[in-house]
A and B are shown apart, each in its own frame.
Chain A
Amino acid sequence: MALNDRLRGVFVDALQLDDSVDVENLKYRDIDEWDSVGHMALVAAIEDEFDVQFETEQVIDMSSFKVAVDMLKGFGAGE
């Protein structure tokens, strides 16, 4: 499965998003579900799904779906 699709699935599960949410254009705090609590759940879920571990700086910089994609590419995930 393509990286974006896998990551979209993680976002939907971790944040329990409705189908109506435009996940790929989502930014931190755009929606109630992605607040600070949601962020930590999301980071943990991404780490599980892609078997990676983010650095502190990456956790606080993960401000959008797109940034998360770029970070995962940096890990060589989804290739």
Chain B
Amino acid sequence: MTLLHAQARLRDAATGELLGGAELAGRVSEAAKELADLPSGVLFLRVGLDLTSVLRYLGAFEAGRAVALLDPAQDREVLDGLVSRFRPAAVLGVDDEPAPGYTQDWVREDVDGVAPHPDLAVMLPTSGSTGNPKFVRLSRSAILANADAIAEVLGIDENEVAPTSLPLHYSYGMSVLNSHLRKGATVLLEGSGVVARPFWDAVTQYGVTSLAGVPYHYEMLRRLRFDPAKYPTLRTLTQAGGKLRTDLVSEFNDKMRAVGGQMFVMYGQTEAAPRMATVPADRLAEKIGSAGPALPGGAFAIRDEDGNEITEPGVAGEVVYRGPNVMMGYAESEAELALGDETGGVLVTGDLGYLDSDGFLYITGRLKRIGKVFGNRVNLDDLEQIVKGFGAAAAVPAGDKVVVFLDRAEKDTCKQAAKLLSETLHLHVTGFDVRPAEGFPQLPSGKIDYRSLEAQV
């Protein structure tokens, strides 16, 4: 079982180079061979939107070597922390001074290390937190099952050309790559993003057929007055990474349908490799606001506070997903690399929602204190901890951003706090709206009344 279909192709937009067939397979096995002599352990790959990175990822996958995908822009301090916790066999895609215990080429000097479980294929960081992320452990079969299910619901075949509009260490970005390569489609490696000229030139030049975006991409596309008529090959939009405003769902769905195209709204979590649900494009108009039915092979259940299943449609509770794509578990240190499956294919999502009578899921909120910043999950309690040096803080979600109230803070302090959050979590500073507050509303228990704070934003 392999990710790479015989027809699969990679196009490097920077050089125009197209790799496919035996040539691509050859380059992947070369990359795999380079990993063969490395010591035991997981591989760290700082994965950019370039050919070398993708060949290394595919090489590791085909060689059966567990690989953790990391943000290439990650701070050195965070990388060092991960290296000391996981003792990777090697760190690929990094050229600064090696960490202690590593050779000039970033290979671990100590040959003894924990052997990753044979099922473990890919580890992805859970977003953000305190710059001290843990990893989601994804098995080879989970990755392949999810790639196949996504391809099935989106109708991906060898005629598709998908650009890398999302980073590959981000689960949605990885899944676009996987699901296309698996079906013999072409993946266009392009790093400049949807707000830049080179991206749109490449869309036209290489006949891009689909575009994947998180909510902020759709805000950008609206601002850019995106007109699919200008891009006759581009007929599919997909959206995940958080709930998109329903007026934007309608707007983009209408735009695409007007030119004979389609839009897919999807739902997932990194813990599910990542896709769990997709609204069929032809039902989107009647199911605006829904995350869709479970993918083929998966199923949703809604649980009440006591853990009992709610079978009545329209009644909200915690969303539980069961499927072949659910993670093996988390890893916080090297020892956990050896662990097998701990979830039994069941993911308790922490999301609140309900199923309608057609089995379409609607997400209504979060059980845990979690927010999203430009599609990246952040722990709201962690945000408060990060800025505590500036004063007492209360963080609440606000769409694709978070609002952090700082008790009795000056405007300048708020600015500094936003900057610190941005630097610590490596997310753009405009995702953190830090505002001064005069104390916080409290619940009878004395805890912060986050609901009434949320109502203020």
Contact = CB atoms under 8 A, between A and B. Distances in A.
Interface string A26-40: 001100110111111
A41 B223 CA distance: 11
B1 interface: no
A59 interface: yes
A38 B216 CA distance: 11
Contact of B197 (A35, A38, A63): A63
A22 B322 CA distance: 52
Interface string B116-143: 0000000000000000000000000000
B46 to A, nearest CB: 15
A44 B196 CA distance: 15
Contacts of B196: 28-29, 36, 39, 60, 63
Interface residues of B, number: 27
B177 interface: no
Interface string B225-255: 1110000000000000000000000000000
Contacts of A15: 429
Contacts of A49: none
Contacts of A60: 195-197, 199-200, 224
A25 interface: no
Nearest to B226: A56
12 contacts: A28-B192, A28-B196, A32-B426, A36-B194, A39-B195, A40-B219, A40-B220, A41-B428, A56-B224, A56-B227, A59-B223, A63-B197
Interface of B: 73, 192-197, 199-200, 216, 219-220, 223-227, 374, 415, 418-419, 422, 426, 428-431
Given A37-B216, A41-B430, A60-B224, 10 more contacts: A16-B422, A28-B196, A29-B192, A36-B194, A37-B374, A37-B431, A38-B429, A38-B430, A56-B225, A60-B197
